């Protein structure tokens, strides 16, 4: 007996399942993550800790159940802050949720950035905030988001 019909059946079922998963949310739009505040916390040895206010915007017609987030913030390409949290909850459909997380500094990258800034002064800093949102559903296990921009160091006249 040939196994070719069995292989075809398994392949057909696999394609059917994958096609069904793709059609569950064809208009799914990535959530947006933005930094709303940064507050200095008491230092812990050489490492400085920060409380970072975040806002998640859900542009989709169904609620967004989050099981966790991993995030990092870089200045001039040096990753300075990173952290993780599993205490976020649910973002309503077409809604937003504010929450805060704590992050610790990378002392060595901070020293490297300081050395670069002292040896080559500038009037702005490039920043990048990256986050991986882990969702509680199985068809979209995680979403990566990034916010980039510039921080001016000189006052405008």
Q: Is residue 5 part of a domain?
A: no
Instruction: Specify whether the CB–CB gap between 143 and 130 falls below 8 A.
Output: no
What CATH number is attached to the domain comprising 140?
2.60.40.10
Return the pLDDT at 15.
59
Range of the domain at 148: 29-152
The β-bridge partners of 54 are 35, 99
Convert the pLDDT of each residue in 53-92 to its tens digit.
888 899 989 888 888 889 898 989 999 888 888 888 889 9
37 assigned to some structural domain? yes
Tell whether 20 is covered by a domain: no
What does the angle CA 49 – CA 54 – CA 57 come to, to the nearest 5 degrees?
A: 165
Q: How many domains does the chain have?
A: 1
Torsion region of 134: left, alpha or beta (phi above 0 gives left; psi -120 to 50 gives alpha): beta
Highest mean pLDDT among 5-9, 63-67, 95-99: 95-99
Share of residues in the chain with pLDDT > 70 (%)? 78
Question: pLDDT tens-digit profile of 13-35?
Answer: 665 555 444 444 557 788 888 88
Per-residue model confidence (pLDDT) at position 92: 93
Give the Cα separation of 25 and 60 in Å (integer). Answer: 9
Check residue 147 and give its pLDDT. Answer: 82
Q: Residue 44 domain-assigned?
A: yes
């Amino acid at each position: 007996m040939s196994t070719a019909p069995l292989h075809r059946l398994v392949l057909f079922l696999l394609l059917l399942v994958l096609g069904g998963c793709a059609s569950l949310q064809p208009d799914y739009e990535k959530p947006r993550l933005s930094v709303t505040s940064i507050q200095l916390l008491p230092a812990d040895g050489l490492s400085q800790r920060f409380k970072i206010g975040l806002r998640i915007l859900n542009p989709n017609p169904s609620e967004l159940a989050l099981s966790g987030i991993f995030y990092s913030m870089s200045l001039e390409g040096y990753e300075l802050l990173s952290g993780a949290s599993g205490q976020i909850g649910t973002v309503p459909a077409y809604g937003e949720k504010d929450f805060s997380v704590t992050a610790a500094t990378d002392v060595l990258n901070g020293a490297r950035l300081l050395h670069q800034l002292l040896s080559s002064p500038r009037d702005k800093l490039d920043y990048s905030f990256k986050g991986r949102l882990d969702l509680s559903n199985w068809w979209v296990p995680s979403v990566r988001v990034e916010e980039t921009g510039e921080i001016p160091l000189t006052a405008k006249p």
